[in-house]
Structure 1
Amino acid sequence: MLAADLWQSPGSYPVLTLCAPEHRDLADDDLIYYARLDAVDGVAPKGLIALHVPDMYEAFYLDTRTGLNEGEYPILRFDHNDGSYTHFADSFALFLETLVRRT
Structure 2
Amino acid sequence: MYERLADKLKTTSALKWFPGHGAEESWIAEVEEELGFSLPPSYRWWLVHYGNARLNGGNILTVSAPEHREYDDSDLLYIHRLNKAEDWWVSRFPNRMDLFVPDSDELYFFDTSSRNEQGEFPIMCYDLMNDLIDTYAVTFAEFLERLIDERT
TM-score between the two structures when normalised by the length of structure 2: 0.60
SS at match of 1:14: strand
Q: Give RMSD over aligned pairs.
A: 2.0
Shift of 1:12: 3.2
* Residues 115, 122 of structure 2: 8 Å contact kept: no
Which 4+ runs in 1 deviate beyond 6 A?
none
User: Deviation at 1:95?
Assistant: 0.1
Question: Aligned match of 2:98 in 40, 45, 50?
Answer: 50
Q: Which residue of 2 aligns with 1:71?
A: 119
The alpha carbon displacement at 1:4 in A equals 4.1
CA distance, structure 1, for counterparts of residue 47 and residue 58 of structure 2: 12
Q: Percent identity?
A: 31
- What amino acid is the match of 1:100? I
Deviation at 1:20, TM superposition (A): 1.6
Compare CA radii of gyration and give the structure with the larger one.
Answer: 2
1:26 aligned onto 2:96: no
Go from structure 1 to structure 2 and tell me whether the alpha carbon gap of 1:56 and 1:34 turns closer, same or farther (over 3 Å shift): farther
- State whether structure 2 residue 61 is matched by structure 1 residue 13: no
Q: Compare relative contact order (CA 8 Å, sep 6+) and give the higher one, 1 or 2.
A: 2
Question: Which ranges of structure 1 fall in alignment gaps of 5 or more residues?
Answer: none
Indicate the residue corresponding to 1:95 in structure 2: 143
Aligned pairs, number: 103
Bigger helix share: 2
Q: Deviations over 1:49-100 (max 9, x none)?
A: 1111112511111111123442211100011112221110010111001100
Mean Cα deviation higher: 37-46 or 20-29: 37-46
